[in-house]
A and B are shown apart, each in its own frame.
Chain A
Amino acid sequence: MRFPLRCLILLSALLVFRPTCAAQEIRVAAAADLKFALDELGTHYEKQTGRKMDVSYGSSGNFLAQIQNGAPFDVFLSADIEYPRKLEAAGLAEPGTLYEYALGRIVIWMPADTRIDLAQLGWKALLDPSIQKIAIGNPEHAPYGRAAVAALRSVGIYEQVRAKLVYGENIAQAAQFVASGNAQAGILALSLAISPPMREGKRWEIPAKMHPPIEQAAVILKSAKDKDSARAFLTFLKSGEARKILESYGFSVPASAQTQ
């Protein structure tokens, strides 16, 4: 018994006293819709600069609350530009670093085995009687959810489908509701709909004019330990290479960013 016990103590010690992050590692709080895009961006960034990054994915609203309460992030990538603006206003962000890196796109997504001809019907597919539940992000705090509701209103079917809407805590959970088959359709971020696990499903891109832009923005936080690295990351994010990656993951790059 003595040997495993020693191992256990050693293991616990290793876990407790894990070496703290290496120098020049930046910590990024990123909106859930970036999950796949940022993984690739990170690889390129690390290769290019030799610096490391450590990403936490989650709901932008959650991150805002955490950052306001002193969470140790260096860069905040928000699915809603309002949140970094709030931080800027509160003096928690480095002034002048706010950068709108992308515009979110939304799609109607259905599993591959659906009988509905989504490409043909477009948004009218949501009225199909076989659709009992439509998953969207929670419009109260998820930007993609707000955009989805706006789109439904703009084509005039919101009241018709309202009873069928189920809310994911964030857009990734809404995607999970459809992917698991519990909802028959979802209005999701394009970035998620073209990600490897969901690529096979059917999708119809909702025209950008049907909803207010989903402006996504990055900001460097006042509390950032390594501001050089944070700036280096932001510079990389503005590069043509990063823009191409973002576009390939279903984000459109705003005109403001293209002029830079």
Chain B
Amino acid sequence: MKIEALLLSVRLALCVSAILIAIGVPLAYGLAYSRWRGKFLLEAIVALPLVLPPTVLGFYMLLAMGPRGALGKLWYAAFGHGLAFTFAGLVIASVLYSLPFAVQPLVASFETVDSKLLDASAVLGAGSLRTFRRIILPLSVPGIITALVLSFAHTLGEFGVVLMVGGNLSGVTRTVSIDIYDRAQSLDYAGANRTALLLLVISFLVLSAVYGANRRAGRRAWAPWPLR
């Protein structure tokens, strides 16, 4: 078993979950509380990766990251090299791919905060930022943990997008799922089996932690299945 690939996957999953929380929290706030009429369009866009095959996303990412794509041009201008086949490229693609796994539990948990508490906060003189920081966030901790764990687990197990834009570079883009695939392809079934089993166990532990925590919290914050 290649520990390098596993470590890379963990590093990728950590980066992606951190970024997803950073951009997912404001996005989820907007989705939960905005009264904008076109909100449903944004909801649909966020949920797209749930239904799109990773090949579609990977394909567009590959084009976008190339020298003719907007993202690629920007990256060339800033760093002098392409975005495909880099760790950063993998992070960007994975953030997009795991977006609903972070945003949906956050939206669900923001929405379950009693609106009267928000009203109470407002009449006590708090602006929306203070209300968010002092009331919504602390009451959404289970949802935030769910979002973190699911983003982490989903990125850890991601394959299609990484395959499409990664280029299979050892230590840079060869994640554990790619490693498993390579082993199966080169008929090293025993090696594939060991790594796959490890990934299976990790994923199972992560998911049972989420479901267990939800159960203890006495309500279902959000779980990927059934979908909301």
A138 lies within 8 A of B82 (CB):
no
B-binding segment of A71-79, A180-188, A206-214, A240-248: A180-188
B185 lies within 8 A of A166 (CB):
no
Q: Is A167 in contact with chain B by the CB < 8 A criterion?
A: yes
A168–B168 Cα distance when bound, in Å, is 7
Number of interface residues of B (CB under 8 A): 22
**CB within 8 Å of A: which of B38-75?**
62-63, 65-68, 72
A226–B186 Cα distance when bound, in Å, is 30
Q: Is A141 in contact with chain B by the CB < 8 A criterion?
A: yes
Q: Is A252 in contact with chain B by the CB < 8 A criterion?
A: no
- Which residues of B lie under 8 Å from residue A64 when comparing CB positions? 187
Q: Is B130 in contact with chain A by the CB < 8 A criterion?
A: no
A180 lies within 8 A of B184 (CB):
no
B82 lies within 8 A of A135 (CB):
no
Q: Is B4 in contact with chain A by the CB < 8 A criterion?
A: no
- Which residues of A lie under 8 Å from residue B187 when comparing CB positions? 61, 64-65, 141
Residue of B82, B84, B169 near A167 (CB, 8 A) is B169
- Which residues of B lie under 8 Å from residue A173 when comparing CB positions? 163
Residue of A138, A181, A183 near B168 (CB, 8 A) is A138
B65 lies within 8 A of A182 (CB):
yes
A180 lies within 8 A of B63 (CB):
yes
Nearest A residue to B181 via CB reads A169
Contacts A61-B185, A61-B186, A65-B184 given; does A167 touch B167 at CB 8 Å: yes
Shortest Cβ gap from B1 to chain A (Å): 15
Q: Is B101 in contact with chain A by the CB < 8 A criterion?
A: no
Shortest Cβ gap from A107 to chain B (Å): 20
A133 lies within 8 A of B182 (CB):
no
A181 lies within 8 A of B68 (CB):
yes
B185 lies within 8 A of A177 (CB):
no
- The 5 closest A-B CB pairs, nearest first, are A166-B167, A167-B168, A182-B84, A141-B185, A181-B66
25 pairs of residues in contact across A and B, judged by CB atoms under 8 Å: A61-B184, A65-B187, A132-B81, A132-B82, A138-B182, A138-B185, A140-B185, A166-B84, A166-B85, A166-B168, A166-B169, A167-B169, A168-B167, A168-B168, A169-B163, A176-B62, A177-B62, A180-B66, A181-B67, A181-B68, A182-B66, A182-B67, A182-B82, A182-B85, A183-B84
